[in-house]
Structure 1
Amino acid sequence: MIPLTPETAAAFARLTLGHIGRQYPYKLDHVMLEDKDAVLPRVLHPIFHGSFDWHSCVHGWWQLLTVARLHPDTYEAGLIRARADEMLVPEKVAGELAYLARPLSAGFERPYGWAWLLALHQEAARHPSGWGDALAPLASAFATRFGTYLSKLTYPLRVGAHGNSAFALIHASRWAREYDRALLDLIRDKAIGWYSGDRAAQAWEPAGDDFLSGTLCEALLMSELLEPGAFRAWFDAFLPDVAHGEPATLFTPAFVHDRTDPKIAHLDGLNLSRAWCWRTLAGRLGPDHPASARALEAADFHFVTAMPHISGDYAGEHWLATFALLALTA
């Protein structure tokens, strides 16, 4: 398996330090009711106003803090800690909370940004710095939103982009296991209700701008929520021919025609997120499972296909390193 070396971690950090404070271009998720709602991103979002959009800035911070924890002695880790001491503070978090309190912000960043904020809080709390305490009210606010949302969500979203339910619930369940057992129970109940009966997935993917595999994210979520034996039994029914390289679409990296097109560039992210899923699933299935070796091969193949393209154009550069880090820390 490909390792996360100090050199690779430092390179990821340099990329992300270059854009978490870059204010433009920026894509707002912002509903306006009147003229006074036309406000600059850095005013609306005191912390997460870089990296092209709110959620990319959030997971950029997750990536930076993860690098700083795993490789604390690198030069870049010192830069990360200094920047975090400046930005991840209660008064700036209060500004982010004020935005959530707007009546028109109920659906803001649902569910992708919510999930990444919980992942960021969980990572920040691993550092003896106060960053986790500062972010805790924001995490609590999004956990409450998850509870409300899941209680009324009848069907899962199986799409290959930001709306995907399984991807969001992977991160939310990891956070909830540590901080909110009632939310974890709700996530487990919803996921089992939605996915437990799925059989013989055809994996008709990717669509033209996917960055997530709906099939593999579903499998990864179930591996988080089921006991190991129950998960293996479910997986064998869900993807019965994986050991034989089928469905072939899951083993074939996506081709990216134009990396300057932000939507088409999503496909590099699909390759990286598949690498993350395959690598994690191999570990959950165990070395004796007939699909494990094939899964690890697929993970490495997808990763090496995408890795040369995580920088070079801002369409991908503002977010792809995060998904590369997910894969390497699976």
Structure 2
Amino acid sequence: MTLPLTLTEDLAARFARIALGHVTREYPNHLAHALAGPEDVRTPRALHPVFFGSYDWHSCVHGYWMLAYLLRRFPQAVPAAEIGELFDAHLTRENVAGECAYFAPATARGFERPYGWAWLLKLAAELTCHEGRGWSEALTPLAEVIVEQFRAFLPKAAYPVRVGTHLNTAFALRMAADYAEAAKDPAFTELLANAANQWYGSDSDCPSWGEPNLDDFHSPALVEAECMRRLLPPARFHAWFDRFLPGVARCEPAVLFQPPTVTDRTDGKIAHLDGLNFSRAWCWRSVASALAPDDPRRAIAQTAAQRHLAAGLPHVAGDYMGEHWLATYAVVALEAGN
């Protein structure tokens, strides 16, 4: 079956149904939970009153983001009433207070840093577009907790993390920038931009020889480029990109243009590679949108994005190891550059 390479109403409805099937599914569950004593042995729902489903905390957060985004983009196509009922029931001040409390102990200092932090702020940014529903106001205290976590962490982070998984710092800065804009917080934007410049500003001639690793769902090279596109003024980004990936016009490094092979979609780590297809498509499309229409690299980047999307879209659903999160990344990729 050939799937469209744009986000249609049919795809939006399908993806929303997938998310509704897992954001409140408590088990199976992969907890990243530090125990200070026997009293800390609790169920996912007891630990996380809102984000207890979708196999892990961060996937539940971005499942909510996808539902909120699709509700805004395709209100007549998605099951809007079900999404509204879900948010009304779970995005309450009491439940969010429980999520905030989880971050208070010293044992939770690094919880979901930085990937889950980034997605929480992305969700908070999206909810500001849903005025009059009370969801944004309910989530604001948790967003403020996460912003303070970033403010405490970034000045101490002397080095970036360049892996293709949850610890990638470029992805976190990129997503947090959307919240800073939505919240009209120029000081936070400046903090993020300063970190990006410190970590990545002098990078050049990226070889990408280590991509992909077996469990990557980000391209360290391309997500860094997308981070800098988001946080640098256009002229500075163009100069930086020319230095960072000087071979794009020749489709080099070749590895960035070839979708990865996924050998076992029941293995959660190997299934990450389906997400890599979407993440690369997102980055290629976003970078293409920043290039001039007559720049030959624009068409090359767009073609690379289409190739990766075509490789990933047939595998959004099928096994829960991918199904609990891949639709989010498909949406991000399909909407990139719009």
TM-score normalised by L of structure 2? 0.96
The separation in 2 between residues aligned to 1:114 and 1:227, in whole angstroms, is 24
**C-alpha displacement at 1:102, in angstroms?**
2.1
Query: 1:200/1:87 Cα in 2 relative to 1: closer, same or farther (>3 Å)?
Result: same
1:180-238 Cα deviation digits (max 9, x unpaired): 22121111111112111111111120011000011001101111111112211111111
CA deviation after TM superposition for structure 1 residue 288, in Å? 2.2
Q: Tell whether the 8 Å contact from 2:264 to 2:271 is kept in structure 1 after alignment.
A: yes
The aligned length equals 330
Aligned partner of 1:167: which letter?
Answer: F
Q: Distance in 2 between matches of 1:309 and 1:145?
A: 35
Corresponding residue SS for 1:101: coil
Q: Deviations over 1:274-305 (max 9, x none)?
A: 00000111001232222110000000100010
Once the two structures are TM-superposed, the CA of residue 178 in structure 1 deviates from its matched residue by: 3.0
Partner of 1:247 in structure 2? 253
| Moved segments of 4+, more than 4 Å | none
Preserved contact between residue 12 and residue 77 of structure 2 (Cα < 8 Å): no
1:199 equivalenced with 2:204 (yes/no): yes
**Equivalent residues in 2 for 1:27-38, closer than 5 Å:** 27-38=30-41
1:165 to 159, 165, 169: 169
In structure 2, runs of 5+ residues without a counterpart are none
Post-superposition offset of 1:137: 0.6
Residue 171 of structure 2 is aligned to residue 150 of structure 1: no
Q: Is the 8 A contact 2:288 2:297 kept in 1?
A: yes
How far apart are residue 75 of structure 1 and its match? Answer: 4.6
Q: Structure 2 counterpart of 1:124, which letter?
A: L
Task: Name the counterpart of 2:5.
Answer: 2
Deviation sequence 1:57-100 (CA, Å, 0-9, x none):
00000000000000011251221112111111111101101111
Measure the CA separation in 1 of the matches of 2:137 and 2:291. 35
**Equivalent residue letter for 1:181:** P
| Equivalent of 1:184 in 184, 189, 192 | 189
1:90 counterpart = 2:93: yes
Q: Which moved more, 1:49-58 or 1:281-290?
A: 281-290
1:126 has 2:129 as partner: yes
1:142-178 deviation line (CA, Å, top 9, x unaligned): 0000011101000000000000000010011121123
**For the residues of structure 1 that align with 2:22 and 2:231, how far apart are their CA atoms?**
35
Query: Counterpart of 1:227 in structure 2: which amino acid?
Result: P
Q: Is the 8 A contact 2:16 2:78 kept in 1?
A: no
CA distance in 2, matches of 1:268, 1:69: 26
Amino acid at match of 1:262: G
Over the matched positions of the two proteins, sequence identity in percent amounts to 52
Deviates more, 1:78-87 or 1:58-67: 78-87
Question: Paired residue for 1:268, among 247, 254, 274?
Answer: 274
Question: Following the alignment from structure 2 to structure 1, what is the Cα–Cα distance between the partners of residues 104 and 151?
Answer: 17
Classify the secondary structure of the residue corresponding to 2:305.
helix
Q: CA deviation at 1:309?
A: 0.6
Contact 1:72 1:78 in 2 (8 A): no
Give the deviation of 1:328 after TM superposition: 1.1
Structure 2 residue aligned with 1:302: 308
- For 1:95 and 1:102, how far apart are their aligned partners in 2? 13
The C-alpha deviation readout for 1:300-327, integer Å capped at 9, x for no partner, is 1000101101110000000000000000
Alignment check: 8 A CA contact 2:71 2:78 kept: no
Query: 2: CA distance between counterparts of 1:228 and 1:93?
Result: 37
Q: Secondary structure at the match of 2:190?
A: helix
RMSD: 1.0
- Secondary structure at the aligned position of 1:291 is classed as helix
Q: Which amino acid aligns with 1:296?
A: Q
SS of the counterpart of 2:79? helix
Q: Could you tell me which residue of structure 1 aligns to residue 296 of structure 2?
A: 290
The 10-residue stretch of structure 1 (191-200 or 267-276) with the greater mean CA deviation from structure 2: 191-200
Distance in 1 between residues matched to 2:77 and 2:5, nearest whole Å? 20
Distance 1:195 1:152 in 2: 16
User: Which residue is equivalent to 1:105?
Assistant: 108
**Distance in 2 separating the partners of 1:290 and 1:309:** 31
**SS of equivalent to 2:296:** coil
Structure 1 residue 103 displacement after superposition:
2.5
Assess if the C-alpha contact under 8 Å between 1:274 and 1:302 holds in 2.
yes
Q: Name the counterpart of 2:233.
A: 227
Q: One-letter code of the match for 1:186?
A: L
